[in-house]
Amino acid sequence: MNPRAQTPNTDPALGPNPAPGRSLAEEFGEAVDEMRQLHVDAGMRPYRVFVVTLEWPSGEIGRGEPRVKRETELLPTPVVDLRPTTTYIRSAGRVERGGAKLSEVSPRYTEEEIAGLFECSATLQSFVEVTVDSRDGNAKRRRFGVVGAPWRDADAFDWKVKLTTEDEARTKAGKVKGPKVYPERGRV
């Protein structure tokens, strides 16, 4: 038995936030985004981050020629940590494996909006695309899948998203690569 007169569950001063949409964390969202935009404008956020959704008209992911249904840039530009990504040299060229992490994704996105960005179904496929801004010319695009659920870190005024490398990144010009086909083996 608890020797205290009042436990947390019987304390009338404790409970869920009665108006989370009007909380201090929510009120600061716009100001935090504006401060983060200062980092972008100062050139301290060299990566651009897009969520790309492909539509496969064949009715099955991986069959036929996909088309870009939607491409949404995350603004203000989040922090991109590519340090978990490792480059390996293979007989066919360089391959990147591992993960990455996005942080400082705007707190003004709702959970529904974040989930909607990563829309997937039998004919839709979404991924995160990271590229260096124009300071490095026409840079390559890196393709990542989302690992787990993006989570709101209210203390840091952001969403955090874990990523894992994926093959078949779009070309520098943004062209979607279809699946590799080997006549003797079929699709790979």
Domain-embedded: residue 125: yes
Q: What is the per-residue pLDDT across 6-31, written as a single tens digit (0 to 9) for each?
A: 888 888 888 888 888 888 888 899 99
Domain-embedded: residue 11: no
Listed residue (64, 178, 71, 50) closest to 123, CA to CA: 64
Q: How far is CA 133 from the centre of its chain?
A: 17
pTM: 0.81
The parts of the chain modelled with pLDDT lower than 70 are 1-2, 178-188
Provide the pLDDT for residue 84.
81
Could you give the number of structural domains in the chain?
Answer: 1
In terms of residue numbers, what domain contains 116?
20-171
Provide the pLDDT for residue 27.
87
Domain-embedded: residue 179: no
Domain-embedded: residue 47: yes
Provide the pLDDT for residue 179.
54
Separation of alpha carbons 88 and 23, rounded Å: 47
Domain-embedded: residue 188: no
Q: What is the per-residue pLDDT across 58-72, written as a single tens digit (0 to 9) for each?
A: 888 888 889 999 999
